Every structure is written in C-alpha cells, then in structure tokens.
Amino acid sequence: MDKNKVRVIKISKQALMEFIYEKFVENQSDYLDINAAEAADYFEFDLENSEFIFCAIKSEDEKGNFLSLPKDIDLKKVIKKIPDTTDSMFSPNKTYYKEYTKEELIKISEV
C-alpha cells in the first residue's frame, strides 16, 4: 500500500447491522458455547439505545420437530430490561452469555 494513501470503508446503518448479525452467527459456537448446526438464532437491535441482543435455542426436539422462540417472548422488551451479559466480546473470560429459561423471558416480556 502506498504510504500516502488511506483506505476507507464507510457503511450505512443497515450494512452495519447486517455485519454485526453475521459476525454473531459466524461465531455463535464460541460466543454461546453451542453447536451452531443444532441452533436457531434470533436477534433484535435497539437503535435508540445502541444495543443488540442475540440468542439461540435448540432448533429441533428429540423427534425432529422444528422449535421456535415462543411468540410470548418479545425481544424488543427483553433487550430493554435485561442487563448486559458481558462488558466486551473480547473479554478473556469467554463467558459472554447468560442463560434464561423461556418462561423467564416470557415474564420479562410481560412487564
């Protein structure tokens, strides 16, 4: 690269959100300590507060039926009510997530 040149990337908010989501999908095995092939992912952005929530559930039950996040779980409400699960995705701690039951997230969604 020429010493007098500067290479620049500028992206829109939509492209930035896509990048963040795709990065989490790509690294979910490390971030969530799961087998990505057995998980279904859900996410939400709160642009007003500059927050992002990413979660995964088991994608199939023992009979091979597809599972989904219960409709009673509102990630827009959850993102506003739960605390951050890590202060950095580069933390040496490697525990970035907190595990909740579906029932706990439904209760959080109700309030």
pLDDT by residue (tens digit) across 14-73? 999 999 999 999 999 999 999 999 999 999 999 999 999 999 999 999 999 999 999 999
Composition of the chain by helix, strand, coil, percent to 5: 35, 15, 50
**CA proximity to 104, closest of 50, 55, 45:** 55
CA distance 13 to 19: 10
Strand residue runs (E) in 5-50: 39-46
* Residue range 26-43, pLDDT digits in tens: 999 999 999 999 999 999
**pTM (global) more than 0.75:** yes
